[in-house]
Amino acid sequence: MKINTIYSPNFDKKKRSYKSIKFLVVHYTGMQSERESIKRLCNPKSKVSSHYLISQNGQIYKLVADNRIAWHAGISCWKKYKNLNKNSIGIEIVNKGHKFGYTNFKKKQLSNLIKICQNLIKKYKIKRQNIVGHSDIAPLRKLDPGEKFPWKRLANNKIGIWHNLKDRHLIKFRKIKIVNKSKVEFINKLKKIGYCFNNKKKGSFFKIIKAFQRHYRKELINGILDKECLIIAKNISKKI
């Protein structure tokens, strides 16, 4: 796998130990063009970066060394971890995103993403449940990598977790309302998966459900908890 280096100055001065690397965070760039994205991630004024970037044609660029803390996650939370920059590797995939024209990820982008993830997982012994999207760890602020990101395909390659339920079985439970007791159960399952519920702001539950749906039930992303969501959450939490 050929990796080109472009230097970004946007990382903490202090080095980190390789042992502190526990998560992979997947992003999309969400900008008009690839050139602009790279420029921004390398501009000291922007104060954002990532360790890797995968271009439209699948080329992998390394912007920040793995033993440096890159600035990609921002305010974030997963399990007991807060502000995931210090414990994660950030991977940006070039895509215009929801704001500028969200498109399917390219074949070459995905095949090379799978390769780099597999390398990193092996190198740093990253657990399957610790491979997340930006929207999973910052559901109130972020949508990326979004519902076109093929988490199921990645899970088939041992990257991240997916449920083992049949679509034709699941669809029967879509839009079926659930009782309040099940809402508590759903929250507990999501907490087990890693989602954080520490923000009490109005509308935050709605956004967390949306983030969950964007990842695990992309057919309907409405922020409303239904029985299908509950069944998926139960199934996934059993694998952790």
Chain residues in the site for Zn ion (CB under 5 A): 27, 134, 144
Helix 227-237, helix 180-193: angle, nearest 10: 40
C-alpha to C-alpha distances, 84 to 24, 101, 164, 240, nearest whole angstrom: 10, 28, 28, 20
Q: Which is nearer to Zn ion, 73 or 159 (CB)?
A: 73
Q: Which is nearer to Zn ion, 31 or 232 (CB)?
A: 31
Helix 204-216, helix 227-237: angle, nearest 10: 70
Q: Which is nearer to Zn ion, 144 or 226 (CB)?
A: 144
For 136, how many CA atoms within 13 A lie in the half-sphere containing its CB?
A: 28
Place of tokens 């199921």: 152
92 is catalytic: yes
Q: How far is the CB of 151 from Zn ion (least distance, A)?
A: 15
Q: How far is the CB of 71 from Zn ion (least distance, A)?
A: 11
CA dist 125 and 140 (Å) reads: 29
Q: How far is the CB of 129 from Zn ion (least distance, A)?
A: 19
Q: Which is nearer to Zn ion, 58 or 90 (CB)?
A: 90
Q: Which of 92, 185, 219, 228 is catalytic?
A: 92
C-alpha to C-alpha distances, 117 to 32, 155, 184, 224, nearest whole angstrom: 26, 11, 34, 32
Q: How far is the CB of 91 from Zn ion (least distance, A)?
A: 10
Q: Return the active site residues.
A: 92
